[in-house]
């Protein structure tokens, strides 16, 4: 019996599986440090490096990666639930964000000139609804004569039908006495579609019927049915540089394009802007605008251009 027992010991040792290799402490510390940083890209890069450096520990590395992804998914779900609850409980004047723009100039001497341009853009995003409010004012006076006096306002609610399709409503007001009208109102409603919906590039289009009322400076008035076509475009070139294309008679930022056509007049304004970040809240914006009316009142020209340099504060 004793001899058999002696023979059984080495046999058992030969048949026993080899002990699993352990990931080196330095590698584990490196992975833990990346996870603690909260940077998902850094974690992914470190995991990839560890797989290359330690091919024999693939199983342990994969287990760490799987656990990390599960934790991140749980955190994201909890955060999404928190935001949803916060939005549902928010009051009418809560959850608004936006930006304000201001630019001005003044000269004296041979030419007395003063000018100011301001824009206020507000947005409120809910579960299915989004609200957009824009206010714009341009004023310029030279040698005692007002050469530009334009005010614009718009409100656009949107209802997201699904991930791509949405319904919109739009109300716009304009005042530009130098262009021949003391007030111009337009209302529209229709459907839109998100063509591109990425973090760095957004493009959506919309179309619908419209109704426009114009009060001219000579006291006459016109009311006409019209058609509205629009497009929103934003391109974040880098973290601090954004390009917006704006073709709208009311909106100055946010990359929105609008064209209104009726039987007597076609109105279009196109603004191209380049915005560069200065701080987390402050940025500088350079823009160029062309405004066109196919049938302007007597004494007004069809095409008007304006270049702007403004400071933008986001909140």
Interval 81-114: pLDDT, tens: 888 777 777 777 788 999 999 988 777 776 678 8
Q: Where are the alpha helices (DSSP H) in 21-173?
A: 25-37, 40-53, 58-89
Measured between alpha carbons, how far apart are the two ends of the chain, in Å?
86
Structure tokens at 189: 């409603």
Q: Are 242 and 235 in contact (CB under 8 A)?
A: yes
The class (CATH top level) of 96-314 is: mainly beta
- Per-residue pLDDT, 245: 61
- Beta strands 181-197 and 256-262, pairing class: unpaired
What percentage of the chain has pLDDT greater than the value 70?
88
Distance CA 33, CA 210 (A): 58
pLDDT, tens digit, 9 for 90 and up, residues 199-245? 888 889 999 999 999 999 888 998 989 999 888 888 888 777 777 76
- Per-residue pLDDT, 302: 83
> Which residues lie across from 289 on neighbouring strands?
271, 306
237 vs 118, higher pLDDT:
118
| Residue that the structure tokens 């100039």 belong to | 105
- Per-residue pLDDT, 278: 85
Q: Are 157 and 131 in contact (CB under 8 A)?
A: yes
Whether this prediction's pTM lies above 0.75 is answered by no
Average pLDDT over residues 34-44: 89
Whole-number average pLDDT of the chain: 81
> Which residues lie across from 230 on neighbouring strands?
206, 258
Domain boundaries, the chain: 21-89, 96-314
- Per-residue pLDDT, 38: 86
21 pLDDT band, cuts 50/70/90, is: low
Distance CA 211, CA 223 (A): 7
Q: Residues with Cβ < 8 Å from 192, sequence gap 6 or more? A: 158, 165, 166, 167, 168, 204, 205, 206, 207, 230
Distance CA 294, CA 259 (A): 12
């Amino acid at each position: 019996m004793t001899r058999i027992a002696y023979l059984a010991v080495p046999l058992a040792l030969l048949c026993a599986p080899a002990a699993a290799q352990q990931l080196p402490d330095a590698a584990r510390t490196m992975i833990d440090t990346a996870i603690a940083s909260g940077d998902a890209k850094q974690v992914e890069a470190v995991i990839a490096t560890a797989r290359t450096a330690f091919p024999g520990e693939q199983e342990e590395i994969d287990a760490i990666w799987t656990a990390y992804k599960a934790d991140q998914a749980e955190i994201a779900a909890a955060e999404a639930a928190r935001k949803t609850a916060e939005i549902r409980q928010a009051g009418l004047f809560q959850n608004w964000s936006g930006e304000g723009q201001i630019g001005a100039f003044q000269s004296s001497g041979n030419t007395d000139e003063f000018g100011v341009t301001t824009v206020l853009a507000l947005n409120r995003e809910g579960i299915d609804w989004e609200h957009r409010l824009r206010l714009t004012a341009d004023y310029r006076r030279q040698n005692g004569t007002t050469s530009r006096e334009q005010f614009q306002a718009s409100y656009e609610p949107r209802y997201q039908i699904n991930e791509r399709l949405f319904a919109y409503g739009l109300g716009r007001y304009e005042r530009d006495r130098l262009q021949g009208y003391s007030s111009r109102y337009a209302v529209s409603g229709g459907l839109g579609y998100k063509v591109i919906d990425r973090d760095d590039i957004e493009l959506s289009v919309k179309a619908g019927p419209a109704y426009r009322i114009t009060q001219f400076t000579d006291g006459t008035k016109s009311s006409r049915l019209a058609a509205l076509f629009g497009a929103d475009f934003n391109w974040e070139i880098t973290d601090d540089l954004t390009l917006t294309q704006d073709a709208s008679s009311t909106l100055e930022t946010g990359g929105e394009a609008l064209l209104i056509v009726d039987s007597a007049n076609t109105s279009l304004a196109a603004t191209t802007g380049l915005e560069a970040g200065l701080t987390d809240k402050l940025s500088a914006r350079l823009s160029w605008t062309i405004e066109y009316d196919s049938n302007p009142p007597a004494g007004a020209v069809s095409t008007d251009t304006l270049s702007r340099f403004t400071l933008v504060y986001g909140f």
